[in-house]
Structure formats: C-alpha cells, structure tokens
Structure 1
Amino acid sequence: MAGRSVSSTPSGETPDKPARSMRSGHAAPAKRVARSASSGAGAQAESHRVARSASSGVRAAHGPGCTAKSVASGGGAANHSARASATSKLRKKRASVRSVFAAAGNAVARRRSAKQARTQVKKPRIVEERIGATSPGAFVDANNLPSEDMVAKTLQETAGTIGVATRPKVVDFAARQKEQRKADTRRIAARVAVVCAAMAAVIALVWLLFFSPVLRLEPNNISASGANEWVSNEQIMAIAKRQAGKSLLVVSDSAVEQKLSQIPGVSSATAEKKFPNGLHVSVTAQRPAAMLKEPSGSTMTAVDSKARKLNAVNGAAQSVQGIPVIEVDDVGKALSRRAVQSALVILDALPESMRNAIVKVQANTQDSITTQLDNGISIVWGDDSDLKLKMAIVDKIMNDPNVIGDKKQINVSATARPIIK
C-alpha cells in the first residue's frame, strides 16, 4: 500500500541564519567593487596621459632633421607597447569588476528569492512512500482510500441484458406520491388496529377479573365458624354476606375482620378467601364478663368486659351457670356508669375458679367494687387498677389458713397495706 508523508518545510526556503550572514557580508563586496572601479578609472586616466605624451612626441618628431624621425619612430614603438599594456590592464580590471558585480547580483537575487519564499503560504510537500498494511486502530490517510468510479458504476447499473447501455428509468412522481399515500394509510391503519386490539385486551382482562362470574363471591359459598350462645351465627353471616356479589380481588380481608371484631363477645376474627368464588370467616367468641339482672324481669343480659351487650337469655338457662351476676335498676343506664364498667373489667380478669365461686357483686361506687364468695369471704377490690397484684395478694391470703383464720373480709384496695378483718 502506497502512502504519502508530509513535510512542513516549504520548498525553496533557506534558513534565516544564512540569510542574515548574507546580509551582513553584502557590504564588503560592494566596497571592493567601488575600489576596483576607482582603480580602473585611474588606469584609464593614466593611459590617456601616455597617449597624449606620445602624440606630443610625434608632433615634435615632425620637426627638422632626421634625428627627429628616428626619435619619432622610437617614440611610436614605445607608445604602442605602452598602449598595449594599458589596454590589457584595463581589460583585467573590467573583468574583475564584472565578476564582483555578478557575485553581488547573485547574492541580492538569492536574498530576494528567500524573502519571497518566506512571505508565501507554506504548502506541505507530499512525498510518496511505501507503507505496510495498517493495524486495527491505526491512522488511515483518506488520500490513500480507493475512490469509487461513479461513471463505471452508472454504466454497470444502466447496462442491458446484452451489455449495451440502456436509457435510465423515468420516475413517475405522481404515481410515486400515490404509492406513498397508500403506504402511509396502511401504516396508520395498522397502528390504529394495534391500539384498538390492546385496549380491547385490557378491557377484556378488567371485565374477567372484576365483573365476570369467574371470581364473583357467591352467597352460597360463604361459611362461618366460632359462634356460641353469646355470639350467634346469624350475626357473623350478616357481616360476611355484605361482600357477596363482589370479585374476590376487591374483597378486603382486613375490612371483614374489623367488622367481625366489632360484634359484642368476639375477641378475634379471621377471613380467608377461597378462590375462585368462596369466603370463610371464623371468630373467637369470649365468655360474658357478667350478667346484668333487673329486679322486675326474669331475663338477664350478657355483657362483655367492654360493657357491650351480647344477648338476653332466661335467668334459669344452663348457660348462665358460673357467670357472675350484677343486680342493676336499668341495664342501659348501668352500662354507662363508671362503677359497673370497673366491675366488668375486674370480673373478666378473675380466674374461672373464683368466678364460679362468686355469688354476689356490688358496684355502688368505682372505688368500692366488692365480690362475695360462696364460703362467706368478701373481697373489696376498690377500682380496676393493679389487678394482677391484687389477685396475687388475695390468692396468698386465702391459701394460708394461718393468715386468713376466721376472717371474712379481705380489703386490697390499697395494695401496700391490705386489710384482713
């Protein structure tokens, strides 16, 4: 592969230092030329003087006598030799002057050409040189790249079947524009079709997941467990069936559990989806904290520790056995009293053995809650604070015969100083 190397030094340019030396040395040849010219002029004047003296001698020889002729002949020979020598000297002087002027002229010409070369635009010289194949990533000179012969390419493209150049195809711009419009129309139609298909797919998916019967919660597929005599199954199913007809994807388990927990007597609740269209709920029903009994009625109302009504049952029912009873004038008003609320909290926290032994509960004030056991011992709890400590003190006193003795009342309203009497 042939390449070219570029030299940045302009052709014909001489360095500045020789030019300066030439300028400094130009004065000496000029002085020498002047001196040579003056010496040549002096030689020429000398030759003129010799010629005049010779002519005067000739004129004197034309005077009288033979002696004058001989003198004239001798003087003529001397004059001839003098003129010859003067002429040769003059020629030598002229030759030396010409050589000096020629040298000075050449020096001036070289100086002028160097100055002109410096003022010209520096053009790089392209030198052909052979280079090998370039490696990947190496510099590639664009001048060395092969150029495409457009004439040959055109002839090749327009050549006929037998190699004869044919007439190029004439483009019908109207037909071309019509084809372009059709292509644009097809492209737009394809895009619209794709968008419509995507929207239809999204709508179908939304309908399938949220509105179709595939994931719809059916009332017959709802089940419940955990009901007892205080929390009825009808209460649980009434809340669960509110979600019927909805897609299981939009049914909230936490919302169902929260509503079930609001049922009086329910301590906890869980909801579980049964795909594709079922739901199961389960509750943990707590026992009533106490039964509220009105003097004029034969029924009793079960209430929980939060002073919420569970349901009303017959006082003689077997299910009320072992549940403490609080006698009140009016159930609705009693549940709003602070003393009854504190009594319900205390009764709910007592162990089952003590609850079963309670025969009477008095809640006159919130600081004087009293329970009476079947063994005749009365326990004054005070309010519902420090229940664990109070129950521990009562349990220790009652289980130690040496401490309880024949005493019938234990007052733990002040845990620091329990009173036994």
Structure 2
Amino acid sequence: MKSEPSPSSSRSGRPEQAQGREIVGSASAAVRGGGLPGRRGGERRSVSSGFVDARSLSPDQSVSGRIGADGGTGVFVRPKVIDFQARVREKKRVGLRAVIVRVSLVALAVILVSSLVWLLFLSPVLRLDPAQISVRGGNAWVSDEKVLSIARKEQGKSLLLVSTSRIESAVGGLAGVTRAEVRKSFPHGLEVTFKAEEPTAILKDSKKKLTAVDGDARVLNVVDGPVEGIPVIDVDQVDSGLSGKAVRQALKILRSMPEDMRRSVTKVAADTQDSVRTDLEGGKQVIIWGDGSQLQLKQAVVDKIIHDPKVIGDKHQVDVSAPTRPIIK
C-alpha cells in the first residue's frame, strides 16, 4: 500500500523545513557576499524586512543618510563614536577661553576708566588757566586784584575740581564785599563777580590816622584824608575802638541808614553803647539814637520828624532812644 504524500510537502516534492533552510541560507550568503544587486555602497538588507546592517555604515554618514537611505522607512543606526578625552580637552579650552574673555573685558574697563579720570582731572584739557580768570565789581576800597589773587590759588587744577563755593566764601569774607558769585567758563576759564560797598565809616585815632571800616567792623584800608560822604568816628586806637561795643553800635546804626542820610552824616559820637549820636549837615540836625535796637522803628520816626516842617519846626535835635516817645529839642 502506497503512503500519501505529506501535506507539508511543496510541489517540488521537498519538505517545507528544507525549503526554509535554503531561503535563509541564500539570504545569509547574500549578506556575506556583499548584499543584493542594485543596492548602493554595499548596503546590506534582509530579504524579508529590509533591515540595514549597521556594520556596513560609515560612522561619518549623516543622520538623513542613516535613516531610510534608499527611500524606505529605515531606523536610526549607530551614531558617531565620541572620544571622551577629546571632549574633556575641548571643555577645558572653552573654559580657558571664557576666562580670557572675562579678564580682557575687566582690563579694558580699568583702562577706559583710568583714561577718563586722567583726561578729566589730570590732563591739561580742563586745566584752569590764570590768564582766563576774569574779575568784576571792584572799587576804590576792594580792588579786583585782591579778589583775583584769591581765584588764582586754584590755578593748575581741573575745572571739575575747582570749588566755586570755596572761592565765593573767601571773596565774601573780604572787608567791604557784600556778595560774590563765581562761575566756571569751560574749558579753562573762571568768572568772578562781586559787589563791594563803600566804607561805613572812617575811624580817626589820636594820631590823626584815618582807617576805613565796613559795617561789620572790618578794616578796609588806610586813607590819606577824609572822604566825602563817609562819616568819621573819633577813637583813641583803631583796634581797641573796633573791639569796643560803642563803635560797633555806631557802625550798626550807620549801616542801617538810607544812603542819602548816611552821606549827610558829618560826625559820629559814641561815648557809650547807649549814647550813639550823629550830626547831619555839619550839625544842622542832631539825632540821638541810643543803642542799635529797634532800628527800623527809629528810622521811621526820625524820617517822619525831620521831613515834616510842622513837626520839627525850628528844633534841630531829635532823641529816639525811646522810639515810641521821641524827644524834639
């Protein structure tokens, strides 16, 4: 009795197992032989799945070349091998470069700041030139040259270091100066403007020496003779007179007078601080002020009395020691 052929047999009469071994063997042979015909660069793929053999790829191939080089889907294959020692050296180079850049920036900033400081404060670019210092406001009692000598003490400095307030304070401290203003004129100049007043009085000592003083009892200078419009105060000595309260009260009263009245004063007597007296127009009118208190009220009372003929009449002496109760003689 003949046996039936096995259902697993192929039409060629060979078993499927043997036939499968032949297919796999031929695929392996194809891989070992360099791949199937028609593939680029020796690329090897499995017959059944199209898998790319990573051993056949160049490590320098781009990502796009590694994924679906033949138009298929492909897979991401072995990346380029990294040399970790080279990577460490590269990181060191990057760190060193960053340090060098930072140090360079700091050094550049220091150089720029130092150059700017030298340019503004030490170089001749903004240095005060004494020939470009202008002074205005002097008179016979306070000369421009005296003020100029104060401003010239700042010569050679940068205008940025010149203190205008210091110069104004020094000029304002001069006897006879009531106001001082200093302005910088870049790049090398300075403008000084001040107001000088005439002496408040002239002190005449026992030796007939005449010394001009201001309202703050500061000496201006020595004069050769009486000056028209400036009252004279008799004292034993200039120094002792200026330190005494009687002369200081007299100067305070004279300074508070209107200029036209002060110019009409021909004589001042100050035996004590409470008995200051002024003679107007050679003694035609005599004002007894007492001390230097309530000067505004005293000035108003005196002005009303001496300028009203109905009040002064034929009298020539007005006592305003007590301004609310003036005495007319």
**TM norm structure 2:** 0.75
Q: Work out which of the residue numbers 215, 218, 221 in structure 2 matches 1:311.
A: 221
CA deviations on 1:173-220 (whole Å, 9 max, x unpaired) are 222222222222122111111111111111111111111111111111
C-alpha distance in 1 between matches for 2:307 and 2:78 = 126
* 3-state secondary structure, aligned to 1:410: strand
Task: Point out the structure with max Rg over C-alpha.
Answer: 1
What residue in structure 1 maps to residue 320 of structure 2?
A: 412
Q: Is the 8 A contact 1:294 1:327 kept in 2?
A: yes
Whether 1:399 and 2:314 are equivalent positions in the alignment is no
Q: Is 205-214 or 402-411 further displaced after alignment? A: 402-411
Partner letter of residue 287 of structure 1?
Answer: E
What residue in structure 2 maps to residue 335 of structure 1?
A: 242
What residue in structure 1 maps to residue 256 of structure 2?
A: 349
CA shift, 1:250, in A, is 2.1
Structure with greater helix share of residues: 1
Partner letter of residue 241 of structure 2?
Answer: A
Counting only pairs closer than 5 Å after superposition, residues 170-185 of structure 1 correspond to structure 2 as 170-185=81-96
What residue in structure 2 maps to residue 378 of structure 1?
A: 286
Partner letter of residue 316 of structure 2?
Answer: K
Q: Work out which of the residue numbers 138, 150, 155 in structure 2 matches 1:239.
A: 150
Partner letter of residue 330 of structure 1?
Answer: Q
What residue in structure 2 maps to residue 325 of structure 1?
A: 232
CA shift, 1:365, in A, is 0.5
C-alpha distance in 1 between matches for 2:243 and 2:111 = 59
C-alpha distance in 2 between matches for 1:261 and 1:242 = 16
C-alpha distance in 1 between matches for 2:90 and 2:68 = 29
Question: Quick one: structure 1 residues 179 and 339, their matched pair in 2 at CA, closer, same or farther if it must change by over 3 Å?
Answer: same
Q: Work out which of the residue numbers 296, 300, 309 in structure 1 matches 2:210.
A: 300
CA shift, 1:166, in A, is 7.8
C-alpha distance in 2 between matches for 1:296 and 1:186 = 89
What residue in structure 1 maps to residue 40 of structure 2?
A: none
CA shift, 1:226, in A, is 0.4
CA-based RMSD: 2.5
C-alpha distance in 2 between matches for 1:161 and 1:247 = 77
What residue in structure 2 maps to residue 212 of structure 1?
A: 123
CA deviations on 1:232-286 (whole Å, 9 max, x unpaired) are 2222112111221222122222222122111110000000110111111010001
What residue in structure 2 maps to residue 112 of structure 1?
A: none
CA shift, 1:167, in A, is 6.1
What residue in structure 2 maps to residue 263 of structure 1?
A: 174
Q: Is the 8 A contact 1:289 1:345 kept in 2?
A: no
C-alpha distance in 1 between matches for 2:317 and 2:98 = 98
C-alpha distance in 2 between matches for 1:408 and 1:264 = 35
Q: Is 261-270 or 197-206 further displaced after alignment? A: 197-206
Partner letter of residue 235 of structure 1?
Answer: K
Q: Is 302-311 or 403-412 further displaced after alignment? A: 403-412
What residue in structure 2 maps to residue 54 of structure 1?
A: none
CA deviations on 1:116-158 (whole Å, 9 max, x unpaired) are xxxxxxxxxxxxxxxxxxxxxxxxxxxxxxxxxxx99x99837
Counting only pairs closer than 5 Å after superposition, residues 102-117 of structure 1 correspond to structure 2 as none
What residue in structure 1 maps to residue 35 of structure 2?
A: none
Counting only pairs closer than 5 Å after superposition, residues 65-76 of structure 1 correspond to structure 2 as none
- Larger relative contact order (Cα-Cα within 8 Å, sequence gap ≥ 6): 1
* 3-state secondary structure, aligned to 1:249: coil
Specify every segment of 5 or more residues in structure 2 that has no aligned partner in the other structure, as ranges.
1-50
C-alpha distance in 1 between matches for 2:82 and 2:233 = 108
Partner letter of residue 185 of structure 2?
Answer: K
CA shift, 1:169, in A, is 2.8
